Amino acid sequence: MRVAVPREIKPAEQRVGLMPAGVTALVRDGHEVYVETGAGVGSGFDDDAYAAAGAEVVDRDTVWERAELLVKVKEPVAEEHALLRPDLVLFAYLHLAANRPLTEALLRAGTTAVAFETVRSGRILPLLQPMSEIAGRLAAQSAAHHLQSNAGGPGLLMGGVPGVAAAKVVVIGGGAVGTQAALAAVGLMADVTVLDADGARIRELTDLMGHRARVLMSDEHVLEDEITGAHLVIGAVLVPGAAAPKLVRREHLATLHDRALLVDVAIDQGGCFETSRPTTYDDPTFEVDGITHYCVTNMPGVVPRTATRALANATAPYVRRLARDPRQALAEDPGFGAGLNVAEGGIRHAGVAQAFPDLPADLD
């Protein structure tokens, strides 16, 4: 199979879909690999490294034209929609439930689209977890910066100092993102509360956090009580493949601490705050009713030397299986098959179909 890796063009995105080691494995398996010029530079891999691994380094048009399996990191942006084809298998983060234009483009093109974020392995989302862990740590790290006055914040040190209270931090969601965000905030000595709605996960988090953070079973009343007076709320809610629920509504903003900060890590799936909208690292924040919102969509993209390695470690075995036979790979492993979001002009994932009930779907 012809496997191709384009250079990512989403703002502030410097990750790459395959490392040179992944290229070597694919070439040994008998596949042809094409890598766009400069695709890996931001992650620490120059063109010579890919050539030495057995890839042909080519321009953008050639990458897309020759691809049978296209391995990206982030979803195709608007200028790439016209490059989609019916004989193409796309493997990347897609987050389609929050992206109608891309969903429609994939349906029109007849492209087979397999999303990293909905591939399963038991209870785990193995291709999402490493980036969720990075995003969670970055959420706390970015929040600490944006609470400072030089970043337009209220001028708070997250952990306070002896005799001065720490910032009140509420993390909504106790999955990979929320856990890492909470641990990072605890490490900064903040006053941290984690909310989750799964009893088993509550017990796991309680054991993990010990006395360093409160872990509470979440419902609408508990959430309202806990965010009242909060300096920082981190949204880390995930419904795999589906749009994130809007848990913090606009009327809640008045209950937060003056000039509080909301960090919505669920923004790739539409965001879990009613007032969220996507932002970029070039312009990461905006205000609603005096509350700062931080809603950067591709947070791990700014640490590509870490993120590419973590991602490729997880995705490489799946790429090799797709390259051997996409249909067989998805059919023989239900967890891998859960990654199929669109094929042959129809939506194949229930969460995406629920988000766009007017679009054609084939869920059988």
Nearest to 64 by CA among 109, 4, 2: 4
196 phi, psi to nearest 5 deg: -150, 160
Helices and strands counted in the chain (H then E): 12, 15
**What letter represents residue 318's amino acid?**
Y
Catalytic residue status for 268: yes
Token readout for 185 is: 């905030």
Q: Is 141 exposed, middle or buried (0-12, 13-18, 19+ CB in 10 A)?
A: middle
Find the catalytic residue in 231, 264, 268, 349: 268
Find the catalytic residue in 31, 95, 146, 231: 95
Token readout for 50 is: 């890919």
Per DSSP, which regions of the chain are E strands? 2-5, 32-36, 56-58, 69-71, 89-92, 112-115, 168-172, 191-196, 214-217, 232-235, 261-264, 285-288, 291-294, 340-343, 346-347
Catalytic residue status for 252: no
* DSSP line for 217-252: E--HHHHHHHHTT-SEEEE----TTSPPP--B-GGG
* DSSP line for 94-157: --GGG-HHHHHHHHHHT-EEEEGGG--BTTB-TTTHHHHHHHHHHHHHHHHHHTSGGGTS----
What are the residue numbers of the active site? 95, 268
